[in-house]
Structure 1
Amino acid sequence: MSSTSPSGVGIAHLPNQKHKIISKKGAHYTLMVCGESGLGKTTFINTLFATTIKDSRLPEKRFAKQLDKTVEIEVTKAELEEKLFKIKLSIIDTPGFGDYVNNRDSWIPIVDFIDDQHENYMRQEQQPTRHGKIDMRVHACLYFIRPTGHSLKPLDIEVMKRLGSRVNLIPVIAKADTLTPKDLAKFKENVREVIQQYNISVYACAVDSDDEDTTARNQNIVDASPYAVIGSTEIINIDGKQVRGREYSWGVAEVENDDHCDFKKLRNLLIRTHMLDLISSTEEMHYEHYRQQQMANRKFGEPKVPRTKKVENPKLREKEEELRKSFTEKVRDEESRFRQWEQQLIQERNRLNKDLESQHAHIKHLESELDNLYQHGRSGSMRR
């Protein structure tokens, strides 16, 4: 049935009502930044939101055990407001990720954190009272890639495969100003080929739109992936124009110059044009997939099924233990030999120092005798 009234009954005002409700409630938005240390993740976040977020607010630190190493997961929370719209922002970082010589299974703490946020939200939904739910589900994961100019490392491939099935994964090439435009374009192509080869699921925003300009803009954003970025909060004066960028002897790499990097495209994707889609796809796809998977494997109210451990072969375990003991003994023997050698060096150094002191004392004695002889000789010549 359709209304024949020329002015309608008012259902066209529903978007306005929705806008008012959302504006009043605000939104929860969680970004995860992942990648090796030293790639400028913190600087990028501060550049993205045009304010110092990660330095001005003390982060909450969570720790996860990984192969006898402690992996630290930092949760930084902030509340931003623009034109009376408030957003509760959470930044998830994994300092030290990929810094170890052996990075096997280094993805586990990150994946567990993402799954745990889905689990926490699902358990809150199962409670009789669901008011004031805490939502820390990760809406976008920026995976920072070191600008090697070659291709993705095995660690990058493994982690991105695990993350892509759980979260909106967005690959980011860090420190784009360290590569020439030609090398950067080639590196981007190499990364795209590896992503396609290993079927890594990455976030791609919808392109089609009723508006041609919006469609072209969205296509431009999609084509830029993986996004090459430059992060800087430094303001530089260029011919009277204030820009954010990095100053070098050859010139200035501008953060918001599309000819220099993809920062503006990535910012549009994350904040200005597709934030709602990132939040919705997390709810409707990633969280729903987790919820269905868990409910198919356990009864209502049961705790989460723990990660299954690998079944170990007793013989292999015994052999591994023997090798570990042998290695430990060799290390202990080497340490003992090193300490003995160190003691010998110390003793030799002390002996040489004593000899040197003795030689210095002897030289001073000879110099004193020489002075005395000189004085006597001079006195004798004066008497004559």
Structure 2
Amino acid sequence: MTSDRALVGISNLPNQRYKIVSSNGGTFTLMVCGESGLGKTTFINTLFQTTLKHVDSQRRNQPIKKTVEIDVLRAVLEEKNFSLRVNVVDTPGFGDNVNNNKSWQTIIDFIDDQHDSYMRQEQQPFRTVKFDLRVHAVLYFIRPTGHGLKPLDIETMKRISSRANLIPVIAKSDTLTAQELQDFKIRIRQVIEAQEIRIFTPPLDDSSSPDPALMEHARQLIESMPFAIIGSEEKYDNGQGQMIAARKYPWGLVEVENDSHCDFRKLRSLLLRTNLLDLILSTQKLHYEAYRKLRLEGAGSTEDPSLPTRAPARKLSHNPQFKEEENALKKYFTDQVKAEEQRFRQWEQNIVNERIRLNSDLEEVQAKVKKLEEQVRTLQLRRH
């Protein structure tokens, strides 16, 4: 029912909601996963247009570690009075060994642990402040071989897709020709469809946004998957007096933000512009609720190994860096205990020595007293 007399005021509710969201800000957690040497660090710095993570040049000269690490980077992006707390989860060491059997387990455990941690916080009496590190999007970097997906890629992507929004990307796409890249995308799509791997796709039937331009943009994003990307922290002159991020070759520049060269702009739009809220809401309503339902119902992973376990162990972390810190704390605690024990033994020895000294003094005093008593008796005998 509409009225021409006076407005009720509900039209101002979106503005109020915008003020609340603007004041509280948002949280977005992005995980990058893939083999070493695919440009994950360069892509992160290119995406956020800052040196968010430095290249670990020493790691290349070190021996390959057997375990996958979890490295969390935190930053705050501010734009138009809106702050976005960004967590970037890197997984160095993934797929670097000769035997990569269950190398995805560390990644899966981390995603499950974050869901479990958030669920436990919701069960607490005070829930005003919650630490949320649930992964909203996982970028899986595929090596540009031009042949297809490896068994490790298929198994890892299948397990990740049941827990988080999976977005496959082809790393260093400038190493393939345009035709090779197109054929490679087709092969990857065929494998994803055949293996029933669920990847994140922008919604096309969003009734709240009937804008044809947005629908067309969503179709272009879906058609571009998996995204072919390149990254570069260097800027070069494009010949028109503009400094642009690109990779320089003897035959010319490969521009990062040129849609005819790669899909970087489309991926950035998906992650940070048009579908950021979709990634966050799907994590809350789809993946987290599915995990919560399985945990509360007591469903196990015997039927489908890709699903979360019935009661996952409370794993602190598989990160060797945390393990080293834990060992250092244990050593510090052990050293403190040994020092206290040594101090106690020294104190006990001092008490024994003091007791011996006091006993010796007491014996001397008693001997003097006895001698004086004998002298007294002698004097008494002489007097009589």
1:77 and 2:74 matched: yes
- Cα 1:264–1:7 change in 2 (3 A) is farther
Who is 1:247 aligned against?
Answer: 248
Q: Does the alignment pair 1:50 with 2:49?
A: yes
**Do the aligned residues in 1 keep the contact of 2:67 with 2:93 (CA within 8 Å)?**
no
For residues 190 and 24 of structure 1, do their structure 2 counterparts lie closer, same or farther at Cα, with a shift above 3 Å needed? same
1:164 maps to which of 151, 155, 161? 161
Q: Residue 218 of structure 2 corresponds to which residue in structure 1?
A: 218
After superposition, the Cα gap between the structure-2 partners of 1:134 and 1:7, relative to the gap in structure 1 and judged at 3 Å, is: same
1:171-207 deviation per Cα after TM superposition (whole angstroms, max 9, x unaligned): 0000011110110000000000000010000000112
With normalisation by structure 1, the TM-score equals 0.74
Q: 2: distance between equivalents of 1:214 and 1:7? A: 34
Provide, for residues 135-182 of structure 1, a one-character-per-residue CA deviation record: whole Å limited to 9, x for no partner. 000000000000001100010000000001100000000001111011
Equivalent in the alignment of 1:135: 132
What's 1:372 paired with?
none
Give the equivalent residue in structure 1 for 2:9: 10
Matches within 5 A, 1:1-384: 2-55=1-54, 69-208=66-205, 209-239=209-239, 240-297=241-298, 305-306=311-312
Q: Distance in 2 between matches of 1:238 and 1:137?
A: 40
Q: Quick one: distance in 1 between partners of 2:120 and 2:312?
A: 16
Provide the C-alpha distance between the structure 2 equivalents of 1:37 and 1:69, rounded to a whole number of angstroms. 13
Is the contact made by 1:143 and 1:170 (CA closer than 8 Å) also made in structure 2?
A: yes
Name the CA shift for 1:5/1:261 in 2 (closer, same or farther; >3 Å): same
Q: Identity percentage over the alignment?
A: 56
Q: Which amino acid aligns with 2:279?
A: L
The residue type paired with residue 233 of structure 1 is E
Aligned partner of 2:35: which letter? E
Work out the CA distance in 2 between the residues paired with 1:153 and 1:70: 20
CA distance in 2, matches of 1:80, 1:7: 41
Q: Aligned partner of 2:70: which letter? A: I
For 2:91 and 2:310, the matched residues in 1 are separated by: 24
Who is 1:376 aligned against? none
Give the residue type in structure 2 aligned to 1:172.
Answer: V
The corresponding residue for 1:322 is none
Paired residues of 2:94 and 2:103 also in contact (CA < 8 A): yes
Which residue pairs with 2:338 in the alignment?
none
Distance 1:211 1:306, change over 3 A: closer
Q: Give the counterpart letter for 2:126 in structure 1.
A: T
Task: Give me the whole-angstrom Cα distance separating, in 1, the residues matched to 2:173 and 2:233.
Answer: 16
Per the TM alignment, residue 306 of structure 1 is displaced from its structure 2 partner at its CA by 3.4
Q: Can you list the C-alpha shifts for 1:19-46, whole angstroms capped at 9, x where unaligned?
A: 1111100001000000000000111011
CA positional deviation for 1:238: 1.3
Q: Secondary structure at the match of 2:67?
A: strand
Q: Which runs of 5+ in 1 are unaligned?
A: 57-67, 308-384
> Structure 2: how far apart are the matches of 1:305 and 1:272?
36
Deviation at 1:5, TM superposition (A): 3.6
Bigger radius of gyration among the two: 2
Letter of the 1:55 counterpart: H
Query: How many residues in Structure 1 have an aligned counterpart in Structure 2?
Result: 291
Structure 1 residue 243, shift from structure 2 partner: 1.1
Cα 1:138–1:6 shift into 2, 3 Å: farther
For 1:291, give the aligned amino acid. R
Matched AA of 1:283: Q
Q: Partners of 1:25 and 1:109 in 2: how far apart? A: 32
Report Cα offsets for 1:233-256 as digits up to 9, x if no partner: 211101112211100001100000
Tell whether the 8 Å contact from 1:119 to 1:304 is kept in structure 2 after alignment: no
In the superposition, the TM-score normalised over structure 2's length comes to: 0.74
Give secondary structure in 2 for the equivalent of 1:77. strand
8 Å contact from structure 2 (residues 66, 97) kept in 1: no
Q: Does structure 2 retain, via aligned residues, the 8 Å contact 1:30–1:138?
A: yes
User: What is the Cα deviation at residue 69 of structure 1?
Assistant: 3.1
Cα distance in 2 for residues equivalent to 1:201 and 1:7: 50
